[in-house]
Amino acid sequence: MYTALDLLKGMISIPSFSRDEARVADFLESEWRGKGHNVSRVGNNIILTAGGLDLGKPTILLNSHIDTVKPVSGWTRDPFTPEETDDDRLYGLGSNDAGASVVSLYSAFCRLVEREQPYNLVFLASCEEEVSGKNGVEAALRQLPPVAFAVVGEPTGMRPAVAEKGLMVLDCVARGKAGHAARNEGVNAIYKAMKDIGWFATYQFPKQSDFLGSVKMSVTVVNSGTQHNVVPDRCDFVVDVRSNECYSNEELYGLIKQNVECEVTARSFRLNSSRTDLGHPFVCRAVMMGLEPFGSPTLSDQALMPFPSVKIGPGDSARSHSADEYICLMEIREAIEVYVRLLDGLKL
């Protein structure tokens, strides 16, 4: 526990905002090389492997991320000074999301590789998760052997998320014709946009997920107009689409374009929903241990993994991206034990 806690305090002490993780990556690389691990680095992603990889065995990936969001207003503590309190809490930016998962998975990795496992085990501390950056887990995966299964560390209270919603962001443009607001002229682009915005607000895609529910669409940004007496000829708005596993983002994009009049451009299709079968050996063992599977509405690096994965880690998602973020030390201790019980001797 001391090693995990010491490592987490070191991570908190180093600002590691997305796309600016070099210093914390340097810290972790130095720490782990100093302990004799087989360490490789891809950009600011740090990879640990145990001995030589046996290509006759499946490979299990343990992954969590080292980047954080920027601190929100409202902090009453220094977000970069780890503060341990008498009530078993450790405060600091990234303590809950997802430093606790990084150090817990690392500790589990160290224990699991002490004896031979029926799989290769790889630990990846990745960057750019908070922005779904292309230099993060995607870049690191290209340097790894084929992965059969991944454990993704995120604050879930150590409940296994077997499904996760995907994300697609749409930039929409409704076009009208400018005119003087005092006269009956022009075509108001805001009014044209309102029709499509109403559709986004009320439409329900027919395919529902037992774990993730329906596809959720939210209009989150609207911009239009230049001054009060000019009928606007353009209205721009942004739609946040959270997909379930019943649709790919490309399928949703095609269906949306059939139903709205505005111009629609997707920023990316790469963050699809994921789902792992309840019969997967890892999930079966989790259920036998009394851990209840669920579907997660929040995005993680699972979206970038083209193989089965389960999101599970210490902490509470409600603490993420909030002021005075903290992790309970007992949560870390329990997470290490649960990870080892879930993975020790697991046969895929």
pLDDT digit string, tens, across residues 139-176: 999 999 999 999 999 999 999 999 999 999 999 999 99
Give me the pLDDT at residue 2, please. Answer: 54
Q: Give the confidence band of 214 by pLDDT, cuts at 50, 70, 90.
A: very high
Is 162 within 8 Å of 293 (Cβ atoms)? yes
Phi, psi of 124 (to 5 degrees): -125, 115
Whether the pTM exceeds 0.85: the reply is yes
